[in-house]
Amino acid sequence: MPPKRRPLPGDLPSFGGLVKKRREARQMTQDALQWLTGIGSGGVSRIEGNAQDPMLPTAVPLCQRLGITPTDLIAYLSTGSDPQDARIEQGADTEDLLSAPQFVDGERALTMADVHDFVQFFIDHREEGRGWFADGLNDIATMARQVDIRYVVPTPRIEPDDIIAFLGMSRLYRFELLYPPTIDADSILVSNAPGGVLITPDVLAYCVARHKDARHNRFDTLERLDKSVIERMKLSDITAVDMRLGGDGVVVSMFIRAYQCEEDLAADDTSNGGDPWSTPWTREMAATAQLFIRACRWMQYVHHPDMAWLRKLRAETRQP
């Protein structure tokens, strides 16, 4: 039997305490909540008793089912008061499920539809798709040198035939497209627009930018998140980062959105009969999507606030 986790102090506001409060307000049993969320046997009891520190795959369904928004969670952890109580008194809607803050118009952000359209374009037009990537990555390398960023590409110039290797289909290449280190937090928020695609590097870059803006010292919790895949991130670490960086719920919201987007972008391991492009969503397609998103972040960074590049991209790749 694995050793039990040390319970959190019972007198402090916790995610488990808010889960219990919301569940009881809905007159719902722990077993019913487990069934509705797909959480394993005894999971709700352990979370409510602060004996389990849930990771995002467990926390997100609970938040969705109980109407816990990121701002609700941060407010409860900060004050011990549930904002839903005030909404009930005012007769407001209490089922506002994880709605993202309305930062910008969704037309100014890369969407999941854009990603899927590009991957389909890449499948249907291999030569043009590889050419787009090669041109884009060469442009990014030029941009990086212009802003005095250390940037190494594996060849003097990337050619279309290199793209397949970059997508993980060759062990000879190790290629990673980093984010611009000079990017500021406000420009990253464009990615958190309603309908916008958000991935883990977006959120980490946002946290690092805000951390620098606030001139904080070393932040171990943020460094721990940076070394973890999003499915293994603990909600307590995410809320700690949010509260350290202002306590406005934005960081929690972004991590939840990133988790949901990456679930959508995750590879389907269905057998493909040897053709890496024949199933609905293979590892190669997932790798294409991730590289495409990172390339677009550079375009967004360089051209901000002009989004003509995105409108042009949509015109070229959007399916009829």
72: domain CATH number is: 1.10.260.40
CB 246 within 8 A of CB 253: no
Rounded Cα–Cα distance for residues 103 and 249 (Å)? 13
Residue 274 domain-assigned (yes or no):
yes
Q: Mark which of 89, 109, 140 sits at the end of a domain.
A: 89
Q: Mark which of 43, 64, 89 sits at the end of a domain.
A: 89
| Residue of 306, 300, 244 whose CA lies nearest to 114 | 300
| Structure confidence by residue, pLDDT tens digits, 268-277 | 655 455 555 5
Residue 90 CA: distances (Å) to CA of 19, 87, 245, 276: 22, 5, 30, 55
Residue 9 domain-assigned (yes or no):
no
Q: Mark which of 63, 89, 115 sits at the end of a domain.
A: 89
Co-location of 198 and 284 in the same domain: yes
CA atoms within 13 A on the CB side of 283: 11
pLDDT of residue 319: 65
Co-location of 156 and 288 in the same domain: yes
| Residue of 115, 271, 270 whose CA lies nearest to 195 | 115
Domain that holds residue 52: 15-89
Low-confidence ranges of the chain (pLDDT < 70): 1-11, 91-106, 144-156, 168-176, 181, 194, 213-218, 267-280, 319-320
Question: Which residue pairs from 43-49 have beta carbons closer than 8 angstroms and sit at least 24 positions apart in sequence?
Answer: 44/19, 47/15, 47/16, 47/19, 48/16, 48/17, 48/19, 48/20, 48/23, 49/7, 49/16
Co-location of 26 and 152 in the same domain: no
Rounded Cα–Cα distance for residues 299 and 160 (Å)? 19
C-alpha radius of gyration, the chain, whole number: 22
| Structure confidence by residue, pLDDT tens digits, 264-297 | 888 665 545 555 555 567 877 888 888 888 888 8
Co-location of 209 and 105 in the same domain: yes
Residue 2 domain-assigned (yes or no):
no
pLDDT of residue 271: 47
Q: How far out from the chain centre does Cα 98 lie?
A: 14
Co-location of 241 and 115 in the same domain: yes
pLDDT of residue 74: 94
